[in-house]
Structure 1
Amino acid sequence: MSVDASCHCGAVQMHIAAAPEMVTDCNCSICRRYGVLWAYYAPSQVQFEPAEPPTETYQRGERSIAFHRCRTCGCVTHWSAVDRSADRMAINARLLDPGVLAAARVRHLDGAVSWSYTD
């Protein structure tokens, strides 16, 4: 079953191949500030509308991933790998319908210290 997600203003819309069964709540220095829950997908499982969404990016640390936010409303929408051959990305699951998000298991990742799941 595919699901849709969008930023607050609707300028960035995502069509996702399937609802997430699990989302990650990470407490690393950036994720805890963003307040996101990440749902991981292969880039081929996520289609953007428009195809080149109006986002700005931020890269931190080793610059292996780019965090995207809507240029209009500022919502963090997703992260993508800087290396385009990587087969992993994440969408901000808080942009999903609340009912879809409620059905997903939330895992807690200690990104601040150990980079391991605590549950």
Structure 2
Amino acid sequence: MEQHTDAPRADKKKHTGSCHCGNLRYEAMIDLSAGGSGCNCSICTKLNGMWAYMKPHEFTLLSGEDSLGAYAWGSKVGARHFCKNCGVQCFSRCNLEFMGGDFVSVNMNTLDDIDPSTVKPHFWDGRHDNWQAGSRDTPWPIFTP
């Protein structure tokens, strides 16, 4: 089990992000060299997001609590949070044992200080619940049923 520490790892740096209209603003400790995760599950396919994962203490919502909406589906182990004004999904809060318990994932497309096209993507086969296969460097074949 990973021990909680407030000291960030040397490879993580503070990045800022926001929704389109600017109501939601956040800071997150992210290691850009780890790349970003994409998935072919039903919601990730529709969002086309790329996600960075962190422990909850590495994420801070700076503003917009009153503009925050949430969407949870299926087994409701997590919720995607979006701006009720512009609709952009900035982050999620989840709890999955295979991910180490509680975590936050940030939509890297909402980071203000990076170009997401410069981040190496890793792809997961969530559509088939095939998490044990690990990630790939290329998208799964045209999201077969």
Which residue in 1 is equivalent to 2:32?
A: 20
- Tell whether the 8 Å contact from 1:25 to 1:107 is kept in structure 2 after alignment: yes
Which residue in 1 is equivalent to 2:4?
A: none
Which residue in 2 is equivalent to 1:45?
A: 58
TM-score, reference length from structure 1: 0.85
- Tell whether the 8 Å contact from 2:37 to 2:121 is kept in structure 1 after alignment: yes
Which of the pair has the greater relative contact order for Cα pairs under 8 Å at 6+ separation?
A: 1
Are 2:127 and 1:112 equivalent residues in the alignment? yes
Percent identical residues? 26
User: 4+ runs of 1 displaced by more than 3 Å?
Assistant: 97-100
- Tell whether the 8 Å contact from 1:19 to 1:100 is kept in structure 2 after alignment: no
CA distance in 2 between partners of 1:70 and 1:14 (Å): 12
Which residue in 2 is equivalent to 1:36?
A: 49
CA distance in 1 between partners of 2:52 and 2:88 (Å): 16
Query: SS of the residue aligned with 2:85?
Result: coil
Higher share of residues assigned helix: 2
CA distance in 2 between partners of 1:92 and 1:104 (Å): 12
TM-score, reference length from structure 2: 0.71
Higher share of residues assigned strand: 1
Give 1:93-112 correspondences, 5 Å limit: 93-97=108-112, 99-112=114-127
5+ residue gaps, structure 1, are none
Which residue in 1 is equivalent to 2:23?
A: 11
5+ residue gaps, structure 2, are 1-12, 138-145
